[in-house]
Amino acid sequence: MDSREFRNALGRYPTGIAVISAHGADGRLVGLTANSVTPVSADPVRLAWSLGASSKTRIVFEQADYFSVNILASNQVNIAQQFASPIPDRYVDISYELAGCHRLPKIDGSLAWYACRLLESSVVGDHVMFIGEVTESEVSDGAPLLYFAGRFAQIH
């Protein structure tokens, strides 16, 4: 199976959309849109996400001690698009607060927010997988923003 065929097949599996964020070494916030967040363990509480190995933000996430995960709600397509764009400051015009012990970004209206301590990162094929220990979380009610067949989707 070639990579295009593989991606097309995976596109038939709906996934949630999240914004992953961390503080860079210079203190500025870095964030990106991801659909690769997955639980790893419930005891102890761990989650994983992956990033393309050639990403310009890779070094920030590899060097950060902590990162946050915001699970987006169905009405947050514009936020997902902004954090997937090439603009340098993806937090411009985004309503958020720096929350928790490590002052990590929590985007207003997100369905869930997790603060995570980075446990490890490792190259897996053409991606880097990050595993984090969830240290804090908050959950809200609502419908999730999904990704399906190459575009954003919602539950109806």
Share of the chain above pLDDT 70, in %: 100
Could you report the per-residue pLDDT of 14-36, keeping only the tens digit for each?
A: 999 999 999 999 999 999 999 98
Whose tokens are 């999730």? That residue is 144
> Does residue 156 surpass a pLDDT of 80?
no
Amino acid 125: pLDDT: 95
| Bridge partner list, 4 | none
CB crowding 2-18: b at 16 or more within 10 Å, else e: eeeeeeeeeeeeebbbb
Tell me how crowded residue 135 is: count the other CB atoms within 10 A of its CB.
15
In one-letter notation, the amino acid at residue 104 is L
Q: pTM for this structure?
A: 0.94
* CA–CA gap between residue 54 and residue 79 (Å, rounded): 23
Which candidate, 18, 21, 22, 47, places its Cα nearest to that of 34?
18
Which candidate, 73, 66, 56, 58, places its Cα nearest to that of 19?
73
- Domain positions in the chain: 3-151
CB crowding 66-97: b at 16 or more within 10 Å, else e: bbbbbbbbbebbebbebbeeeeeebbeebebe
The CA-CA-CA angle for residues 93, 97, 101, to 5°, reads 150
* Six-digit token string for 22: 């961390």
> Does residue 85 surpass a pLDDT of 90?
yes
**Collapsing DSSP states into helix, strand and coil, what is residue 119?**
strand
State the maximum Cα–Cα separation within the chain, in Å, rounded to a whole number. 45
Report the CATH number of the 3-151 domain.
2.30.110.10
Tell me how crowded residue 113 is: count the other CB atoms within 10 A of its CB.
24
